[in-house]
Amino acid sequence: MFRLLTLCLAAMFVSLAFSAQAQVRTAFPAGRGLSVADFPRLVPIGKGVYAYEALRAPGFTTVSMIVVGAEGVLVADGQESLEATRALLAAIATVTDKPVRWMVVGSVHEDHTGGMEALPADTVLVVHPDGLSQIESGGRKVEKGPRAIGDVKSLDLGDRTVDILFLGRAHTASDLVVRVPDQKLVFMSEVFMNRVFPPMRSAFPKEWQDALQRALDLKADLYVPGHGFVDGPERSREEMRAFRTAITYIRSEARRLHDKWPDKAVADWGEYASWMLADSQGPIALQRLSTLGE
């Protein structure tokens, strides 16, 4: 049903470091020598911590993070459907018999929440208050996440804690990220999408840049994207910077085209034209930036 990418945690970072040298920097699976049959897959990224990469239309990954603690399992972001979420739960069951007790809703969008009803009935959802209206909790217990920039909410998993951070409005008004301090890694949800053209339909682009910088200032060893592929530590920081630079470029291009919008606005996306979703998301970005006056 899924692939366990690496069986030995001790060799994991060596493997990822080697892959960082060999792999093309792309969100397209074929560009990395992967096919539909390689997904979904479980990627060990630290002691008791896994990234789960599932393939979705139009052919890129949606990533969830799994943190195993003594008192249960925390899942950061779900998947788009009941079937996809059941596959995620099946993958979790191969590495631990602990129950799933918490789900952090990093992104309220359907591709990360559509299968929540497959979770155990007593799963506690951790949601930013501004995202509550977009979540159908089905009577579940919902624990509100941090509201202000700089606020940190820690969850005790028994033998380890995880931090839930709101770094500011970014892809949406309610993005949450998850830090695993003992492994020095951060799950970014849709605040970071590795080599994916930044989708801006509901974004706050200037604030998004600021949120990414706050994440970089956390000085984590590894940043895990909500879409795209999980790369090794050094590359993940490089790709975070590249994603932030992409937003800067897109904002600059929108300003250049401001007086030509919309009839004569022909964007030059430069290197970002080759990123996943550029064709569909480029026009949306221009519309959003025009509306915001950025």
Summarised one tens digit per residue, pLDDT across range 43-56 is 999 999 999 999 99
Measuring CA to CA, which residue among 75, 154, 166, 79 is closest to residue 129? 166
- The mean per-residue pLDDT over the stretch 37-45 comes to 96
Structural tokens at position 260: 């030509």
Q: Are strands 161-165 and 41-46 parallel, antiparallel or unpaired?
A: unpaired
**Choice between 6 and 191, residue whose per-residue pLDDT is larger:** 191
Q: How far apart are CA 193 and CA 277, in angstroms?
A: 11
Assign 143 to helix, strand or coil: strand
Is residue 194 within 8 Å of 242, Cβ to Cβ?
Answer: no
Q: Are strands 100-104 and 72-76 parallel, antiparallel or unpaired?
A: parallel
**Least confidently predicted of 16-20, 63-67, 206-210:** 16-20
Summarised one tens digit per residue, pLDDT across range 113-148 is 999 999 999 999 999 999 988 887 778 889 889 887
Is residue 213 within 8 Å of 191, Cβ to Cβ?
Answer: no
Q: How far apart are CA 11 and CA 2, in angstroms?
A: 20
Helix or strand (DSSP H, E) at 67 = strand 60-69
Q: How far apart are CA 128 and CA 83, in angstroms?
A: 25
What pLDDT does residue 15 have?
47
Is residue 221 within 8 Å of 53, Cβ to Cβ?
Answer: no
**Least confidently predicted of 1-15, 142-156, 210-224:** 1-15
Is residue 116 within 8 Å of 78, Cβ to Cβ?
Answer: yes
Kindly state which CATH superfamily the domain 3-292 is placed in. Answer: Ribonuclease Z/Hydroxyacylglutathione hydrolase-like (3.60.15.10)
What pLDDT does residue 16 have?
46
285 burial class (0-12, 13-18, 19+ CB within 10 angstroms)? Answer: buried
Count of alpha carbons within 13 angstroms of residue 167, beta-carbon side: 28
What pLDDT does residue 147 have?
83
Residue 150 neighbours by CB distance under 10 Å: 10
What pLDDT does residue 136 have?
75
Residue 38 identity (one-letter amino acid): D
Which residues does 3 contact at the CB level (< 8 Å), separation at least 6? 38, 39, 40, 41, 42
What pLDDT does residue 13 have?
43
**Least confidently predicted of 15-24, 79-88, 98-107:** 15-24
- The mean per-residue pLDDT over the stretch 163-175 comes to 97
Q: What is the DSSP string of 161-179?
A: EEEEE---SSSSSS--EEE
